[in-house]
Amino acid sequence: MIKKEDIIVIKLKQEWFKKGLDYALMSWTSTFNRMGKSNPYSRIQKIILGIIAEEAFEQYLIDNNISYEKNGRTKWYEEDRYDIGIKKFVIDVKANFLDLNSAFIQSKISNLFEDKYTWFTKCHALVPLDQLNPGNNKKRVHMRNKIYIFPFIEGISAISSKSKCLVHSFWDYKWLKRSEHKNLSNLGNLNINYNGSLNDSYIIIYGTLEQKKACIERLYLNKKTLQTKNDFFQVFSILWCGKPPSGLLTIQSKSLKLEESVKPLLSFILKPTKDGYWPIENNWQNLWLDNCTIYLLGWIYEEDFRVIGKKYPRFTHTIEQYAETKVDNWGCFISELEPIGKIKSV
């Protein structure tokens, strides 16, 4: 059972965000479902938050001289196996994001009758039910017992505000080489055209040279027309760095006769089609996090979690930290977890 004084507070390091961003901009398509109205930018942000949480917990282990290993850490193109290993246990870090921009969290925090740390203990530790019961999923081939770690990440999401970390993700499966387009030939050397003001800005393109062979290329926008030095197989994402864009950025694959145009706007709007969804606007999104703090709340053995927890169905409204759950979860109260300080005793 944890108390508020057991909660470990860690400030975000910028290198953790950058590490999460690079990983997310390469890996988000591994679970992307265009037909299911996925928002790629939400998916990218969740991956970033997951990496931040892992890095914060790893820093805690380092600071407290606790031995660990990362032999099961996932490659960018794989689904998760395990994040960190301690002795005979694999550690699965389950981050919750408290967006201080959201009306729900603002209302919760402003109406608290106790301090925030006490409120944390009344929140829930949740694991999506399909992850708790993976069946014959090969992710569990390590056959090691599991411990769940539950951090809360508090911050201000800047997805719809002005730029600090502008991202464009590709939607068309021809760029991503997904589904029926997976066997298409290479995209080739990409032509980049930009009709805005030339300054010290640059873009970073995240893709592959061949399947599972990552390629990240930086291009400085010092000319109106540029070409990548790499012959890309896939392109997943573009990161804009520097002063905000003032003009249209166009990316062309002549070999596949593809063109992607990105306006100097923050916008993403989908429309339904007969076989799924298609964006009528897909320009830049700002994924920066301001005032970010990580709270390591507690941990629990998976076998204990199964015993003391219960099912919280999709659309549950009784979870303190969420207005509504989006999937079926298994969960318990944060107060029922073990203090982080006891992790050294496993």
Q: Domain check: are 211 and 274 in the same one?
A: yes
Q: Structurally, how many domains does the chain consist of?
A: 2
The answer to whether residues 140 and 253 belong to one domain is no
The pLDDT of residue 141 is 47
Q: Give how far Cα 341 sits from Cα of 249, 310, 327, Å.
A: 50, 25, 31
Indicate the pLDDT class of residue 163, thresholds 50, 70 and 90.
Answer: low
Strands 145-157 and 89-93, by their bridges, are: parallel
- Both 207 and 309 in one domain: the answer is no
Whether residue 253 is found in the same domain as residue 233: yes
pLDDT in tens, 267-319: 999 998 887 889 999 999 999 988 899 999 999 999 999 999 999 999 999 99
DSSP of 126-149:
EEEHHHH--TT-GGGTT--EEEEE
Q: What is the pTM of this model?
A: 0.92
The mean predicted confidence, pLDDT, of the chain is 90
Q: Please give the structure tokens belonging to residue 321.
A: 């930290």
Q: What is the CA radius of gyration of the chain?
A: 21
DSSP states along 44-57: HHHHHHHHHHHHHH
Q: Which backbone phi and psi does 301 adopt, to 5 degrees?
A: -65, 140
The answer to whether residues 126 and 42 belong to one domain is: yes
Same domain, 302 and 282: no
User: Do 222 and 178 belong together in one domain?
Assistant: yes
Domain boundary (286, 302, 321) is at 286
Domain boundary among 271, 286, 301: 286
311-322 burial code (b ≥16 CB/10 A, e <16) = ebeeebeebebb
Would you state the pLDDT for residue 53?
97
Structural domain including 149 reads 4-159+288-345
User: Which of 286, 310, 335 corresponds to the end of one domain?
Assistant: 286
Residue type, 135: G
* Residue 32 shares a structural domain with residue 93: yes
The answer to whether the beta carbons of residues 335 and 151 sit under 8 Å apart is: no
